């Protein structure tokens, strides 16, 4: 049995707690590795070592830190297939999805090459009589990242790139379900020139998370996961005086107007709803067609597309559309929610409950399911399913569809498909959701913007990556300066203050 490690001071270190978590193969249901779960003492020791390494790294010229990011990006590209295979092996997503996971993280590292520009401060000459003012951005010190199972490469890269480029040391706690990618990224960062101790990878469960939140040296915490845990981490971090940036769940709606291209809308919904088995916080899980004719036309196009989806292990090749969900508990929860949808009166148009894959009967596979005539009081509408289930809620008008989206407690992403510019513009301006797509199903911003939701999808004032990330991982110091001038009088220098 493969026993994984922590990454401390530039080397692999065995855990000492005696506690381990199984790392499963979601396609087979078999244990493929064991990962150590750190104690409070182990976590605190890693933080202490990071604190020793940070001052020298923080004092390093930002351009030199950017060169480490450049080399790191080159190494990620060089090892793309290896990293994608690590992602797929532990998460279960297809290899194309695995490469996409790595690629979206790589794009943030590429933006971090511009750290010298991102970290520039402000300057005002003669803000007062003989007075100059300037503001500088300085690293926080030691920061922490707590990342989820569903993007084992992307989210750790989103956290570590801006944090390290800003001059901080980071303690990263990846998901114990998919830990190997983060450990490999740490090795590549060392190869890229990151000094030992600046990045520590500590595996663990709630005990390690609470130790991060309670450690006085840790100045900031970034988290991605479910809304209840995001709210918990945000509250505990803030009560301990830390800066916190916590992203939670989602229930993303896509409105389809009568003038939309129905074939393009259907293609978009299938990709956005079922890609990565629906285990994405930006997945579209609710389709909202406006008008009965629109709804009927959309269902007519969705059914054959969904029924053709190929479900299988990542080892089956590039033509598999999606793989298993992460655990047997997730599989059973998804099946239970589908059952509740049927009992509560939704029309199950495509039923994925009976799906079994020959040779992989013990894997955590769920077939694609499509519901029609879903209403807001149903559990399948209220809960984030995080699985391959798409619900259609019929709206009588644009205003009704917009209200449905705005009344939802989540506000991560939303989309509208329409041929009308006025409608699209109105939707973008009025909807109370953080990321909006217009004829675009998964509106994840490019890496030089910032990613973040509203309402119960996000806790904290600053978003992930882009300019917001550099603000989050630095603090501003403002200097007011006045110099006394020497004035030559009679061969002597007399000094007088400038008024």
Q: Are 422 and 278 contained in the same domain? A: yes
Instruction: Establish if 487 belongs to a structural domain.
Output: no
Surface-to-core class of residue 299, CB atoms within 10 Å of its CB (0-12 exposed, 13-18 middle, 19+ buried): buried
Report, in angstroms and rounded to the nearest whole number, the Rg of the chain calculated over CA atoms: 25
For residue 377, what pLDDT is reported? 97
Q: Are 217 and 284 contained in the same domain? A: no
For residue 295, what pLDDT is reported? 98
Output the DSSP codes for 331-387.
Answer: HHHHHHHHHHHHHTT-EEEE--TT---TT-TTS-----EEEES--TTSHHHHS---S
Q: Are 58 and 203 contained in the same domain? A: yes
Q: Are 96 and 198 contained in the same domain? A: yes
Instruction: Establish if 488 belongs to a structural domain.
Output: no
Surface-to-core class of residue 8, CB atoms within 10 Å of its CB (0-12 exposed, 13-18 middle, 19+ buried): buried
For residue 317, what pLDDT is reported? 83
Instruction: Establish if 497 belongs to a structural domain.
Output: no
**Contact between residue 268 and residue 417 where contact means Cβ atoms under 8 Å apart:** yes
Instruction: Establish if 280 belongs to a structural domain.
Output: yes
For each successive 10 residues of the chain (499 residues), what is the average pLDDT? 95 97 97 98 98 98 97 98 97 96 97 95 90 95 98 98 98 98 98 98 98 98 97 98 97 98 98 96 97 98 98 92 97 97 98 93 97 98 97 98 97 97 98 97 92 96 94 96 70 47
Q: Are 183 and 280 contained in the same domain? A: no
Q: Are 24 and 108 contained in the same domain? A: yes
- Cα–Cα distance for residue pair 269/374, rounded to 1 Å: 16
Instruction: Establish if 451 belongs to a structural domain.
Output: no
Q: Which residues is 45 bridged to in the sheet?
A: none
- Cα–Cα distance for residue pair 23/45, rounded to 1 Å: 25
Instruction: Please report, for residues 49, 197, 264, 353, the alpha-carbon distance to residue 9 in angstroms, rounded to integers and kept in the order given.
Output: 7, 4, 50, 47
- Cα–Cα distance for residue pair 197/294, rounded to 1 Å: 57
SS3 for 292? helix
Q: Are 418 and 280 contained in the same domain? A: yes
Q: Active-site residue 281, yes or no?
A: yes
**pTM for the whole thing?**
0.94
Instruction: Establish if 84 belongs to a structural domain.
Output: yes
Q: Of the residues 112, 178, 246, 281, which is catalytic? A: 281
Q: Are 83 and 55 contained in the same domain? A: yes
CATH number at residue 423: 3.40.309.10
Instruction: Establish if 444 belongs to a structural domain.
Output: no
Domain range for residue 269? 252-438
Q: Are 242 and 182 contained in the same domain? A: yes
**Contact between residue 360 and residue 313 where contact means Cβ atoms under 8 Å apart:** yes
For residue 144, what pLDDT is reported? 98
For residue 318, what pLDDT is reported? 83
CATH number at residue 194: 3.40.605.10
Q: Are 9 and 115 contained in the same domain? A: yes
Quickly tell me which residue has 């943030």 as its tokens.
108
Find, among 290, 463, 318, the residue nearest to 392 by Cα.
290
For residue 410, what pLDDT is reported? 97
Q: Are 306 and 227 contained in the same domain? A: no
Q: Are 305 and 243 contained in the same domain? A: no
- Cα–Cα distance for residue pair 8/342, rounded to 1 Å: 50
Domain count, the chain: 2
For residue 493, what pLDDT is reported? 47
**227-252 tens-digit pLDDT:** 999 999 999 999 999 999 999 999 99
Instruction: Please report, for residues 11, 274, 324, 446, the alpha-carbon distance to residue 437 in angstroms, rounded to integers and kept in the order given.
Output: 43, 18, 27, 12
**70-116 tens-digit pLDDT:** 999 999 999 999 999 999 999 999 999 999 999 999 999 999 999 99
For residue 107, what pLDDT is reported? 97
**Contact between residue 431 and residue 405 where contact means Cβ atoms under 8 Å apart:** yes
Token readout for 192 is 């890229």
- Cα–Cα distance for residue pair 401/406, rounded to 1 Å: 9
Instruction: Establish if 495 belongs to a structural domain.
Output: no
- Cα–Cα distance for residue pair 161/105, rounded to 1 Å: 9
**421-479 tens-digit pLDDT:** 999 999 999 999 999 999 999 999 999 999 999 999 999 999 999 999 999 999 999 99
């Amino acid at each position: 049995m493969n026993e994984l490690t922590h990454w401390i001071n530039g080397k692999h270190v065995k855990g000492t707690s005696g506690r381990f978590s199984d790392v499963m193969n979601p396609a087979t249901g078999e244990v493929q590795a064991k990962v150590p779960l750190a104690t409070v003492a182990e976590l605190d020791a890693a933080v202490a070592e990071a604190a020793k390494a940070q001052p020298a790294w923080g004092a390093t010229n930002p351009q030199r830190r950017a060169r480490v990011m450049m080399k790191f990006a080159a190494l990620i590209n060089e090892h793309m297939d290896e990293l994608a295979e690590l992602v797929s092996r532990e998460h279960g997503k297809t290899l194309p999805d695995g490469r996409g996971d790595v690629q979206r993280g790589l794009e943030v590292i590429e933006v971090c090459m511009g750290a010298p520009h991102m970290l520039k401060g402000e300057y005002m000459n003669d803000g007062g009589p003989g007075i100059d003012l300037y503001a500088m951005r300085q690293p926080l010190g030691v920061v922490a990242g707590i990342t989820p199972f569903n993007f084992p490469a992307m989210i750790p890269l989103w956290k570590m790139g801006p944090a390290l480029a800003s001059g901080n040391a980071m303690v990263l706690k990846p998901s114990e379900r998919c830990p190997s990618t983060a450990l490999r990224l740490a090795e590549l960062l060392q190869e890229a020139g990151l000094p030992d101790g600046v990045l520590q990878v500590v595996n663990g469960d709630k005990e390690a998370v609470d130790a991060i939140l309670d450690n006085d040296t840790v100045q900031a915490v970034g988290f991605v996961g479910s809304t209840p845990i995001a709210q918990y981490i945000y509250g505990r971090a803030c009560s301990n005086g830390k800066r916190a940036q916590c992203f939670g769940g989602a229930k993303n709606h896509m409105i389809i107007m009568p003038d939309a291209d129905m074939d393009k809308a259907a293609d978009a919904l299938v990709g956005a709803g079922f890609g990565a088995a629906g285990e994405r916080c930006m997945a579209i899980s609710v389709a909202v067609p406006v008008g009965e004719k629109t709804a009927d036309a959309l269902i007519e196009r969705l059914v054959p597309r969904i029924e053709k989806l190929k479900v299988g292990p990542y080892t089956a090749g590039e033509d598999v559309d999606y793989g298993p969900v992460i655990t047997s508990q997730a599989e059973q929860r998804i099946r239970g929610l589908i059952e509740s949808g049927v009992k509560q009166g939704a029309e199950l148009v495509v039923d994925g409950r009976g799906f079994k894959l020959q040779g992989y009967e013990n894997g955590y596979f769920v077939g694609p399911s499509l519901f029609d005539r879903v209403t807001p009081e149903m559990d399948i509408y209220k809960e984030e399913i995080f699985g391959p289930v798409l619900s259609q809620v019929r709206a009588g008008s644009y205003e009704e569809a917009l209200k449905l989206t705005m009344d939802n407690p989540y506000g991560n992403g939303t989309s509208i498909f329409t041929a009308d510019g006025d409608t699209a513009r109105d939707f973008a301006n009025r909807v109370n959701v953080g990321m909006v797509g217009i004829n675009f199903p998964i509106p994840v911003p490019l890496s030089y913007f910032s990613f973040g939701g509203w309402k119960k999808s996000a806790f904290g004032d600053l978003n992930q990556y882009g300019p917001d990330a550099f603000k989050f991982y630095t603090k501003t110091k403002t200097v007011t300066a006045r110099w006394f001038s020497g004035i030559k009088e009679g061969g002597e220098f007399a000094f007088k203050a400038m008024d």
